[in-house]
Chains A and B, each alone.
Chain A
Amino acid sequence: MGLREYINDIVEAVVTTAKGMRITARYGVDAKEEVTQQYPEVRREPEERFRGFLHNDIARCTSCTMCVKVCPVDCISLESVRGADKKMVLVSYDINIGRCMYCGLCVEVCPPKSLTHTAGYEKAMFERGEMILRFVQEDGAEIKARVAKQVAEAAAKAAEAAKAAEAAKPAEAANPAVPQPANPAPKEGLSADKTAEAAAKAADSSAVAPGGAKAEAAKPAKADPEKKA
């Protein structure tokens, strides 16, 4: 190796090192350059579209099972029974957020838009079992029992009404309006305003007890703590 190359090597080493050291010195001295966020005192607010933990507004869920079908890892499971008004009643709705891959396909596909992403991402737990979020707070068996009872009641009433209709057929001209049961069995998941609607309708027809409707409306509030925690 010639002398010129030798000297060149040394000079280049010194010059490039000095250039690098100047850059690191600038960062080292300038305190404003620190980008660390001191979590948890300073928490980063996620963006609007952030895909955090899932939350299902039970009141709006129609048990269509689209979310269950579209989930790539099968982390949603729901059980529902047909209610007295032919609409599905949710018995249980569980999401295993340990398995969930936060892809957002279920939220995209939900027709009533009851399933949404929250901004939550902090939910450390000690056991895997705690990772299953149950959105229906009431015991499944109880719901099934109640719905079964309502279905039975409605069936009985329908049978009665059919019999009354049979009997009233000859006297049809005198009684044109047959009392219509607007909402004989207020659903588990009716939101407050819908229930009020139903209650208003029920006030016209005599089929339902408004007190019963209001009592049901208190239940969905329990599912709310999950929302935007």
Chain B
Amino acid sequence: MTRPTEALHTQEMLINMGPQHPSTHGVLRVLLRTDGEVVVNARPDIGYLHRGLEKIGERVTYAQFMPFTDRLDYLAGMNCNCAWAWAVEKLAGIEVPERAEYIRVIVSELNRISSHLIAFGSFTADMGAFTPFLYSIREREVVNDLFEMVCGNRLTYNYARVGGVSADLPQGFLEKTKEFLDYFEPKIDEYNNLISYNKIFVHRLANVAVISAKDAVGYGLTGPNLRGSGVKFDLRKDEPYSVYPKLEFDVCVGTGERGVLGDCFDRYMVRINEMRQSVRILRQAVAQIPEGPVIAKVPRLFKPAAGEVYFRSECPRGETGFYIISDGTTNPSRLKIRTGSFVTMNIFETVTKGLMIADIVAVIGSFDIILPEIDR
């Protein structure tokens, strides 16, 4: 029996999920060609937030570029700050004092928690459950308070410096961090009870946009997106930097617990579990941090030797890599920023074939992209 729709003349709809949309995480434009509710082709159109950061890098000095890295991934400002600092230190061969490295790890992991909280919150809000977003924001505010204590700002930190960090931890910071960790750890279980294992939520995410491990590696995915497909690769363990070798933690991988390995649910659970691991790292770092100086001696007009360096670090959204070419002057000669979200957009078109429109939103949320990272 022929299917009835073969005789019907249907038309493909071209829908513009425009730059202004409640659930594209920023100004992302997706051109959807759909056959009713089923997507035939979803092409992302980026560039609405391009600010020429790499060109700006050629115009300013190494120290002056630090505030710009805040705006690279504004939800993980500390991570990007530290990544830039590590990259420049690798270029110039500067030795960073141990206390500064511990401080960097502490603030990086705190920022990882707050970034994953936003990823979790906005993802569930896109799925229709508006309440967990508010809870995650409440937790994040405590982290913001901690950051305000340490560097003075709540979003654009500009805390790391070439050679260390700009100021030592204030009195009471470590105690407050421990308080936060004790307060926050049970909240993760609360989120799991409230929404993570909710049947409707699981149904929305299970078996949607499955990325096999081979595809994930082939398309260059990094971070939770890669680990959600079962690939156990974390830069903090596989290419350790800073004081991560001294800290014990597990690498969270997707397990296919509610559907196929590599679906949206796995990527989501990897982030939830990473928050738990970050708490673990923080407890150790707070206990192990030594006394000492917080910045190495770096000349005011810092001129590294000519050469090039590529340094990558594990940011909440994947691998953030800085490729710097220096010609011996105070400004970089060329600066290239490799971000996790940009490379993740590669697989977007492939993975959304045959999904429904509602799933597009789930996919964008599970990739946890952020437009400043994509567009720079």
Contact = CB atoms under 8 A, between A and B. Distances in A.
Report if A and B touch in the complex (beta carbons < 8 A).
yes
Most buried by A among B60, B138, B190, B194: B194
Given A17-B198, A102-B153, A46 B193 contact: no
A50 B194 CA distance: 36
A24 B199 contact: no
Interface string A104-130: 110010000000010000000000000
Interface stretch (A8-16, A87-95, A133-141, A144-152): A8-16
A108 B65 CA distance: 15
Given A23-B193, A50-B148, A12 B199 contact: yes
B244 to A, nearest CB: 27
B31 interface: no
Interface size of A as a range: 20 to 34
Contacts, number: 73
A212 interface: no
A86 interface: no
Contact of A49 (B64, B156, B167, B195): B167
Interface string A43-61: 0001111110000000000
Contacts of B194: 19-20, 23-24
Contacts of B200: 13, 17
A199 to B, nearest CB: 36
Nearest to A15: B199
B131 interface: yes
A102 B194 CA distance: 38
B197 interface: yes
B319 to A, nearest CB: 25
A101 to B, nearest CB: 5
A20 B158 CA distance: 39
Contacts of B66: 103, 105
B238 to A, nearest CB: 33
B128 interface: no
B44 interface: no
Interface size of B as a range: 20 to 34
Contacts of A16: 197-199
A72 interface: yes
Nearest to B65: A72
Interface in B125-152: 131, 138, 141, 145, 148-152
Contacts of A105: 63-64, 66-67, 158
Contacts of A3: none
A70 interface: yes
B152 A49 contact: yes
Nearest to B59: A72
11 contacts: A16-B197, A17-B199, A24-B131, A47-B148, A49-B167, A50-B153, A103-B67, A103-B156, A103-B158, A104-B152, A104-B153
List the 5 closest A-B pairs by CB distance, nearest first. A103-B67, A49-B152, A51-B152, A13-B199, A72-B64
